[in-house]
Structure 1
Amino acid sequence: IVLRHSFCVFLLTGNIIGSGIFVSPKGVLENASSVGVALIVWLSTGIITAIGALCYAELGVTIPKSGGDYSYILDIFGGLAGFLRLWIAVLVIYPTNQAVIALTFSNYALQPLYPSCLPPDAALRLLAAVCLLLLTWVNCYSVRWATRVQDVFTAGKLFALGLIILLGVVQICKGRLFTFREYDVGLVALSFLQGSFAYGGWNFLNYVTEELVDPYRNLPRAIFISIPVVTFVYVFANVAYVTAMSPQELLASNAVAVTFGEKLLGVMSWIMPIAVALSTFGGVNGSLFTSSRLFFAGAREGQLPRLLAMIHITRCTPIPALLFTLISTMLMLCTSDIYTLINYVGFINYLFYGVTVAGQIVLRIKKPHMHRPIKVSLVWPVIYLLFWAFLLAFSFYSEPIVCGIGLAIMLTGVPVYFLGVHWEKKPQCFGFVMGKITHLCQKLCLSVYPIMVQPETQGPKTASKGDVSPKC
Structure 2
Amino acid sequence: MARVSSSDSNAPPKTGFGDSGSKKLERSGSENGVQLKKELGLLDGVAIIVGVIIGAGIFVSPKGVLDHSGSIGQAIIVWILSGILSMVGALCYAELGTMIPRSGGDYAYIGVAFGPLPAFLYLWVALLILVPTGNAITAITFAQYLLQPFWPTCDAPIEAVRIFAAIITCVLTVINCYNVKWVTRVTDIFTTTKIAALLLIVAYGVWHLMKGNTEYFQEPMKGSKTEPGYIALAFYSGLFSYSGWNYLNFVTEELRDPYKNLPRAICISMPVVTIVYVITNIAYFATLSSEEILSSDAVAVTFANKMMGFIAWVMPLFVACSTFGSLNGAIFASSRLFFVGARNGHLPAAISLININCLTPIPSLILMCILTLVLLFIRDVFVLIYYVSYVEALFTLISISGLLWMRRTHPNAKRPIRVNILVPLTYLLTCSFLVISSIYQSPAAVGIATLITMTGIPIYYITIHRPIPFLTKVSHNINMFCAKLFLCVPNQEKFD
Residue 91 of structure 2 aligns with which residue?
54
Distance 2:337 2:313 in 1: 37
Measured after TM superposition, the shift of residue 436 of structure 1 is 2.3
The one-letter code of the counterpart of 1:305 is P
Measured after TM superposition, the shift of residue 175 of structure 1 is 1.7
Distance 1:295 1:441 in 2: 15
Give a deviation string over 1:392-432, Cα, whole Å, max 9, x none: 111111111111111001000000000111114x32x5433
Residue 459 of structure 1 aligns with which residue?
none
Residue 465 of structure 2 aligns with which residue?
422
Matched, 1:160 2:203: no
Measured after TM superposition, the shift of residue 46 of structure 1 is 0.3
TM-score, L = length of structure 2: 0.90
Question: What's the secondary structure of 2:412's corresponding residue?
Answer: coil
Structure 1 stretches lacking a partner, 5+ long? 456-472
The one-letter code of the counterpart of 2:166 is A
Q: How does 1:318-357 map to 2 (within 5 A)?
A: 318-357=361-400
Does the Cα contact within 8 Å between 1:345 and 1:403 map onto a contact in 2?
no
Measured after TM superposition, the shift of residue 188 of structure 1 is 2.5
Among 483, 492, 496, the alignment partner of 1:442 is 483
Question: What's the secondary structure of 1:448's corresponding residue?
Answer: strand
Distance 1:132 1:437 in 2: 24
Matched, 1:169 2:210: no
Give a deviation string over 1:310-355, Cα, whole Å, max 9, x none: 1110110110000000011111112113222232232111110011
Does the Cα contact within 8 Å between 1:14 and 1:286 map onto a contact in 2?
yes
The one-letter code of the counterpart of 2:154 is C
Tell me the number of residue pairs that the alignment of Structure 1 and Structure 2 aligns: 453
Does the Cα contact within 8 Å between 2:343 and 2:494 map onto a contact in 1?
no
Does the Cα contact within 8 Å between 2:139 and 2:323 map onto a contact in 1?
yes
Question: What's the secondary structure of 2:221's corresponding residue?
Answer: coil
Residue 422 of structure 2 aligns with which residue?
379
Residue 156 of structure 2 aligns with which residue?
119
Among 111, 121, 128, the alignment partner of 1:91 is 128
Moved segments of 4+, more than 4 Å: none
Identity over the aligned pairs, expressed in percent? 47
The one-letter code of the counterpart of 2:350 is L
Among 335, 348, 352, the alignment partner of 1:305 is 348
Does the Cα contact within 8 Å between 1:311 and 1:447 map onto a contact in 2?
yes
Give a deviation string over 1:258-282, Cα, whole Å, max 9, x none: 0000011111000110000010011
Q: How does 1:126-165 map to 2 (within 5 A)?
A: 126-165=163-202
Distance 1:394 1:433 in 2: 43
Matched, 1:315 2:352: no
Of structures 1 and 2, the one with the larger relative CO (CA 8 A, separation 6+) is 2
Distance 2:434 2:494 in 1: 40
Structure 2 stretches lacking a partner, 5+ long? 1-36
Change (3 A) 1:431 1:192: closer
Distance 1:83 1:434 in 2: 17
Q: How does 1:97-246 map to 2 (within 5 A)?
A: 97-177=134-214, 178=217, 179-186=220-227, 187-246=230-289
Residue 493 of structure 2 aligns with which residue?
452
Matched, 1:20 2:57: yes
Measured after TM superposition, the shift of residue 454 of structure 1 is 8.1
Question: What's the secondary structure of 1:452's corresponding residue?
Answer: coil
Does the Cα contact within 8 Å between 2:339 and 2:361 map onto a contact in 1?
yes
Does the Cα contact within 8 Å between 2:111 and 2:119 map onto a contact in 1?
yes
Distance 1:126 1:245 in 2: 34
Question: What's the secondary structure of 2:285's corresponding residue?
Answer: helix
Give a deviation string over 1:444-465, Cα, whole Å, max 9, x none: 111111353989xxxxxxxxxx
Residue 452 of structure 2 aligns with which residue?
409
